[in-house]
C-alpha cells in the first residue's frame, strides 16, 4: 500500500513539473526578449531625450511676435524625444556671439545666419563649419535660386527661410489722415517729409543701431545700379568707393539728417525705441525691413503699418532680403535630430505659418500666402528687377561692417565725405591685400 502511494506521489510531482514547463515553451531568444521587455516596463525607463541648442537672433519675441517660439513648441510636441534649448543673441552682438561659440567649442547644434556675407564669414572660421545637407529630401521644397547663397562647391550647407524687403515702413493710418500718398520719386519723398515736419511729426524714425541705416542708403544704391557684379568690381579695385553709385546714396541719407527729418537725439536711441515712436504716433516712417511690421503693429493695433520702397531719382528697385539661412554645426552630436529640426522649421507648412506672423514670404515652392501685407511683399520680391540689397553682396561680414561703420560716422557728423571715403577705401584695399 505504501509503495502504491509512493508511485502516486511521484506521478503527481512529475505532472506538476511538466505543466510548469509547458507554460514557458518559447525558444531561448524569444524568452530572453520577453524578459527584457518586462524589465524595461518594470523599471519605467523611457527613450533618452536629445537636447538641441538653437542659437538665433530671431528669438526676440517682440520682433518675431512669438511665431518662432510657437513653431519650436509645435516641433517639440511632434517630437517628444527632442528638446530645443533656445539661445537668443541680439543682432548687434550676433556675429561675435556665434564666432565665440564656434571657436570656443561651446555646444551649438543649429544656428542662423542672415546674409551670404555672414554665411561666408562663419565658414572661414574652419574647414568644416557647416554640416553638409546635400541630398536631403526636404531641400526639394525650396526655390532653386534661394539655395544658391548656401551652396558651395556643389554642396548645400544650409536652408533658406523667409524672404523680406527693406527700406521704409510707414504708418498708413497717419498717411491717410493727412492725405499723404506713398512717394514714387525722390522729390515726392522729400515733399512728404517736409509736410510731416511742418505738422510736428518726425518724418523718419532712425536710431543709433549700427546695422539700421544701411536699409535706407543701401536701398538707394540698389536704385543707382549696385548689384553683385558692381560689388565684385569694387572689391577687386576696378571700381572705387568714390563711385557716384555710392556717394549719391550716402549724401542723400545725410541730407535727411541735415534737414531735421530724423529724431533730434537719433544717435542716442535704440531700434526698439525708434519702433516706439511709430507706435506712439510721434513718427510717420521708420528705416527697417518688413520683418518689423508685426512688432510695430503690436505697439498700437489701431495703426495700419505698411511698407514702401525707398524711391530713387531715376528708377526705384525693390530689395530682396532673405531673412535667415538655417545651418547645422558640423560638430553636432545629433546630426539626424538637427536635420529633422531644420526640415520642420523651414518646411512649407511652417514657413506659411511664420510668414503670416512675421509678414514675410516663404522661400519654398507653391507656398500659399493669405496675409495681404505678405502678398504685397511677395509681389515686390518676385519682381524681375528685384535685387539682393546692398551691402549683402559684399563678400565678408567684416568688410561689410567696416563700410557700415564708415557711413554711420558720416551720418553722425564725425567724418566729412572725403575722410569717410578714404576710410572705407582703405578697408576695401586692406581686405583685398590681406
Helix (H), strand (E), coil (C) string for 122-170: HHCCCCCCECCCCCCHHHHHECHHHHHHHEECCEECCEECCEECEEEEE
Distances (CA, A) of 329 to 122, 132, 158, 338, 364: 11, 10, 10, 9, 23
Same domain? 184 vs 261? yes
| 378 and 420 assigned to the same domain | no
Residues 281, 412 share a domain:
yes
Q: Is residue 44 part of a domain?
A: no
Q: What is the pLDDT of residue 33?
A: 37
User: From CA 50, how far away is CA 123, in angstroms rounded?
Assistant: 26
388 within domain boundaries = no
C-alpha cell at 154: 556643389
Residues 277 and 304 grouped into a single domain: yes
Identify the bridge partners of residue 167 per DSSP, sorted by sequence position.
Answer: 288
* Residue 144 sits in the same domain as residue 281: no
Measured CA to CA, the distance from residue 147 to residue 402 in angstroms comes to: 27
Cβ proximity of 156 and 146 under 8 Å = no
Task: Please check whether residue 276 lies inside any domain of the structure.
Answer: yes
Query: Cell numbers 507656398 correspond to what residue?
Result: 367
Residue 31 lies in a domain: no
- pLDDT of 62: 59
| Residue 223 located in a structural domain | yes
What is the pLDDT, as a whole number, of residue 323? 76
Q: Do residue 256 and residue 180 come from a single domain?
A: yes
The 10 Å CB-count burial string (b at 16+, else e) for 101-111 is: bbeeeeebbbb
Q: Tell me, what's the pLDDT at 29? A: 37
C-alpha cell at 353: 505659418
The predicted model scores a pTM of: 0.76
Q: Cα(404)–Cα(396) distance, rounded to whole angstroms?
A: 13
Residues 407 and 265 in one domain: yes
| Whether the Cβ atoms of residue 424 and residue 406 lie closer than 8 Å to each other | yes
- Write down the pLDDT at residue 228: 87
38 is a domain residue: no
Are 200 and 296 part of one and the same domain?
A: yes
Same domain as 280, residue 155? no
Residue 70 to residue 368: CA distance in whole angstroms: 20
Residues 6+ apart with CB under 8 A from 139: 133, 147, 156, 159
402 grid coordinates:
567696416
CB atoms within 10 A of CB 64: 21
Helix (H) or strand (E) holding 92: helix 91-104
Candidates 227, 97, 219; CA nearest to 164 is 219
Q: Do 214 and 338 lie in a common domain?
A: no
The verdict on residue 234 lying in a domain is: yes
Q: Is 40 exposed, middle or buried (0-12, 13-18, 19+ CB in 10 A)?
A: exposed
pLDDT value of residue 241: 98
Residues 6+ apart with CB under 8 A from 110: 52, 53, 54, 55, 326, 327, 328, 329, 332, 338, 341, 342
Domain check: are 214 and 151 in the same one?
no
Domain of 127, CATH number, reads 3.40.190.10
**Strand 319-322 versus strand 387-388 pairing type:** parallel
Q: What is the pLDDT of residue 370?
A: 84
Residues in the chain where the model's pLDDT stays below 50: 1-45
**Count of structural domains, the chain:** 2
Domain that holds residue 277: 166-317+396-433
Nearest to 54 by CA among 36, 38, 73: 73
Does residue 413 share a domain with residue 373?
Answer: no
192-212: burial string, b at 16+ Cβ within 10 Å, e else? bbeebbeeebbbbbbbbbebb
**Alpha carbon 150 to chain centroid distance?**
14
Cα angle at 166 between 164 and 228, to 5 degrees? 85
Among 363, 350, 412, residue whose Cα is nearest residue 150: 363
- What three-state secondary structure class fits 180? coil
Q: Peptide bond preceding 391: is omega within 30 degrees of 0, i.e. cis?
A: yes
Q: Are the beta carbons of 112 and 325 closer than 8 angstroms?
A: yes
In a domain, 112, yes or no: yes
Residue in 322, 288, 320 with CA at minimum distance from that of residue 307: 288
Q: Are strands 166-171 and 283-289 parallel, antiparallel or unpaired?
A: antiparallel
Amino acid at each position: 500500500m505504501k509503495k502504491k502511494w509512493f508511485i502516486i506521489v511521484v506521478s503527481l510531482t512529475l505532472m506538476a513539473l511538466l505543466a510548469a514547463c509547458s507554460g514557458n515553451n518559447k525558444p531561448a531568444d524569444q524568452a530572453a526578449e520577453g524578459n527584457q521587455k518586462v524589465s524595461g516596463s518594470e523599471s519605467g525607463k523611457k527613450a533618452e531625450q536629445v537636447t538641441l541648442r538653437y542659437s538665433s537672433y530671431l528669438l526676440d519675441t517682440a520682433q518675431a511676435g512669438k511665431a518662432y517660439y510657437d513653431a519650436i513648441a509645435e516641433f517639440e510636441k511632434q517630437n517628444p524625444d527632442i528638446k530645443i534649448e533656445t539661445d537668443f543673441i541680439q543682432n548687434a552682438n550676433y556675429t561675435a556671439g556665434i564666432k565665440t561659440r564656434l571657436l570656443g567649442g561651446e555646444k551649438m547644434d543649429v544656428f542662423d545666419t542672415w546674409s551670404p556675407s555672414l554665411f561666408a564669414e562663419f565658414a572661414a572660421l574652419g574647414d568644416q563649419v557647416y554640416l553638409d545637407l546635400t541630398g536631403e529630401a526636404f531641400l526639394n521644397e525650396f526655390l532653386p535660386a534661394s539655395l544658391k547663397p548656401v551652396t558651395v562647391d556643389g554642396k548645400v550647407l544650409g536652408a533658406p527661410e523667409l524672404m523680406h524687403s527693406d527700406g521704409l515702413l510707414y504708418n498708413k493710418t497717419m498717411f491717410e489722415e493727412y492725405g499723404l500718398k506713398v512717394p514714387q520719386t525722390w522729390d515726392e519723398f522729400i515733399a512728404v517729409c517736409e509736410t510731416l515736419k511742418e505738422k510736428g511729426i518726425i518724418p523718419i524714425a532712425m536710431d543709433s543701431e549700427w546695422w539700421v541705416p544701411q536699409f535706407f542708403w543701401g536701398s538707394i544704391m540698389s536704385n543707382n545700379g549696385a548689384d553683385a557684379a558692381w560689388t565684385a568690381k569694387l572689391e577687386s579695385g576696378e571700381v572705387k568707393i568714390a563711385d557716384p553709385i555710392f556717394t549719391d546714396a550716402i549724401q542723400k541719407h545725410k541730407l535727411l539728417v541735415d534737414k531735421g527729418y530724423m529724431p533730434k537725439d537719433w544717435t542716442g536711441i535704440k531700434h526698439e525705441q525708434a519702433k516706439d515712436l511709430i507706435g506712439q504716433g510721434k513718427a510717420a516712417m521708420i528705416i527697417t525691413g518688413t520683418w518689423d511690421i508685426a512688432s510695430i503693429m503690436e505697439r498700437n493695433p489701431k495703426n495700419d503699418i505698411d511698407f514702401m520702397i525707398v524711391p530713387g531719382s531715376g528708377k526705384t528697385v525693390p530689395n530682396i532680403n532673405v531673412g535667415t539661412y538655417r545651418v547645422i554645426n558640423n560638430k553636432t552630436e545629433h546630426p539626424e535630430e538637427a536635420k529633422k529640426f531644420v526640415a520642420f522649421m523651414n518646411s512649407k507648412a511652417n514657413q506659411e505659418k511664420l510668414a503670416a506672423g512675421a509678414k514675410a514670404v516663404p522661400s519654398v515652392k507653391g507656398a500659399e500666402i493669405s496675409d495681404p501685407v505678405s502678398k504685397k511683399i511677395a509681389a515686390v520680391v518676385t519682381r524681375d528687377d528685384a535685387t539682393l540689397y546692398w551691402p549683402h553682396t559684399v563678400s565678408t561680414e567684416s568688410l561689410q561692417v567696416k563700410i557700415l561703420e564708415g557711413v554711420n560716422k558720416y551720418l553722425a557728423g564725425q567724418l566729412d565725405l572725403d575722410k569717410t571715403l578714404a576710410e572705407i577705401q582703405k578697408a576695401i584695399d586692406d581686405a583685398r591685400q590681406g
